[in-house]
Amino acid sequence: MTPRTSAFGELRTAAGWHFFVIAFLGRLPVAMNVVGVLTLVAVARGSLAEAGIASATLGIASGIGAPLLGAAADRWGQRPVLTAVALVNTAALIGVVTAAFADVPLVVLSAACLLAGATIPQISSMARTRWMALLVGDDRSRRRMSAAMSYEGMADELSFVGGPVLVGVLGAGFGPAVPMLTAAAITLVFVLAFAWHPTAAAVRPHPHPAAPGPAGRPLLLRPLVALPIGGMFFMGAFFGAALVALTAFLRAQGLEEQTGLVYGCMGVTSAVSAVALVALPERVSLATRWAVSASVLVVAAVCMSFVDTVWGMILVILLVGAAAGALLVTLNSAGAAAAPPRRMATTMTLLASGIIVGQAIASAVTGGLAEHLGFAAAAGCLLAAAVGGVLVAALNILVVRRTRASASSDRLEGEPA
């Protein structure tokens, strides 16, 4: 039996096979909602401007609400928080559909999108938190945790590819309201199932705040936690700029409608690289993996600037996926390793928020520049996001080395003369 097979087999033993089904389906609405709202409002109201506002409102609200939900789960436990969120989010999604077709002001529709975004259940982050609780305790925990994070990275990538595809199929076959109503149904059934799955008991709530002093510092003031969040921000910015750049490129080729198909190629290599990380030897540190993956994104950004054929662009997108899958797993692993036990869910949801906010900001900035200056401007934004990610990775290496040197010095000072 290969190490990879035994590692994933241990995950199945720890959580049960049905956990994988519930957790995967429960995270699909995250990938469906932004695209689904954009399509719904564009068709129902006939306005791309209103559709963009509604979609952006939902996305930004999700980025803000995620860490708040994580903090609530840390304090009161995942089960009550996810139960309440599943019910509220289901109602909010139905409200978005109703408002889109009703003769109500845009502010009412935006309010519904705000509530729907802020209450999106953070299944991916909560699942990672459960793995942290389930897999600690022996000398194999690092290998098993690597397998868990690799699986979660693959599941995220597959959901982010499959979600928009599902929206497109349901919308084309049954109308623009059906994808959002389907997302509501998935949330009600599978998020509630996830909330009440036995693995929820492995994560203990911490009703009292952390003790004062250095250990109780805000998470964003802890470098080893803040840097992975910063890495996620630039990764999201890269995704946002890449989508806009790809759209501008294919528009110039007269193939704008193929954007989703080409962009979806990223999910193939991303899922493969996420799973392949399990085979890396433990001596390859998270900091090294982070720096290498981020550097490959710079190479991909440079290549995209010079591509002039569709097939060439597809090859670049495949390269982006290979680096992005590894980077997503690595950043989540780095954040989880540095997170205080009492703030695990908060940390994981902050990581998810980083990528959401980065993507939203980069999409808006890159879209405006590409509209007036074309593909070259979008490619420039893409390169800037990639370079920013490398700088954060380099800073992380310095902080890790300094932390290790400090710890080593403390041990030496504590030894008897």
Distance set, CA 248 to CA 368, 378, 408 (Å): 11, 8, 51
Task: Please say whether the beta carbons of 58 and 66 come within 8 A.
Answer: no
Task: Read off the pLDDT band of 414 (50, 70, 90).
Answer: low
- In whole numbers, what is the pLDDT of the chain averaged over residues? 82
160-174 confidence digits (pLDDT tens): 777 777 877 888 788
The amino acid that residue 241 corresponds to is A
How many Cα atoms sit within 13 Å of 376 on the Cβ side?
Answer: 2
The owner of tokens 């009550």 is 80
Q: Which helix (H) or strand (E) holds 87?
A: helix 78-101
pLDDT at 48: 64
**In this model, does residue 33 exceed pLDDT 90?**
no
305-316 confidence digits (pLDDT tens): 888 898 999 999
Task: Please say whether the beta carbons of 81 and 65 come within 8 A.
Answer: no
What is the secondary structure of 124-179 as a DSSP string? HHHHHHHHHHHS-SSTTHHHHHHHHHHHHHHHHHHHHHHHHHHHHHHHHHH-THHH
Closest by CA to 235, choosing from 396, 355, 64, is 355
Greater confidence (364 vs 396) lies with 396
pLDDT at 359: 77
Greater confidence (282 vs 412) lies with 282
* CATH number listed for the domain at residues 209-403: 1.20.1250.20
Rg (C-alpha) for the chain, rounded Å, is 21
Task: Please say whether the beta carbons of 237 and 385 come within 8 A.
Answer: yes
204-222 confidence digits (pLDDT tens): 887 755 544 444 456 667 8
Cα separation, 147 vs 280, in Å, equals 11
Signed CA dihedral, 27, 67, 33, 190: sign only = positive
Cα separation, 175 vs 225, in Å, equals 43
How many CB atoms sit inside 10 A of residue 221's CB?
A: 9
Task: Please say whether the beta carbons of 303 and 320 come within 8 A.
Answer: no
322-364 confidence digits (pLDDT tens): 998 889 888 988 887 887 777 777 888 888 888 878 877 787 7
Distance set, CA 345 to CA 32, 126, 379 (Å): 23, 6, 35
Q: Averaged over 32-48, what is the pLDDT? A: 81
74, two tokens: 């840390």
How many CB atoms sit inside 10 A of residue 9's CB?
A: 12
High-pLDDT (> 90) share of the chain, %: 28
Distance set, CA 11 to CA 31, 144, 149 (Å): 24, 7, 11
pLDDT at 140: 61
Residue ranges matching CATH 1.20.1250.20 in the chain:
1-207, 209-403
pLDDT at 2: 44
**In this model, does residue 280 exceed pLDDT 60?**
yes
**In this model, does residue 232 exceed pLDDT 80?**
yes
Q: Is the pTM of this model over 0.85?
A: no
Task: Read off the pLDDT band of 180 (50, 70, 90).
Answer: very high
pLDDT at 4: 45
pLDDT at 387: 92
Greater confidence (294 vs 132) lies with 294
Cα separation, 240 vs 160, in Å, equals 13
Most confident of 83-97, 246-260, 296-310: 83-97
Closest by CA to 179, choosing from 373, 367, 31, 7, is 31
Yes or no: is domain 1-207 CATH 3.60.20.10?
no
High-pLDDT (> 70) share of the chain, %: 89
pLDDT at 129: 87
pLDDT at 87: 97
Q: Averaged over 65-94, what is the pLDDT? A: 93
pLDDT at 214: 46
**In this model, does residue 417 exceed pLDDT 50?**
no
- Going through 201-343 in order, the beta strands assigned E by DSSP cover none
pLDDT at 138: 55
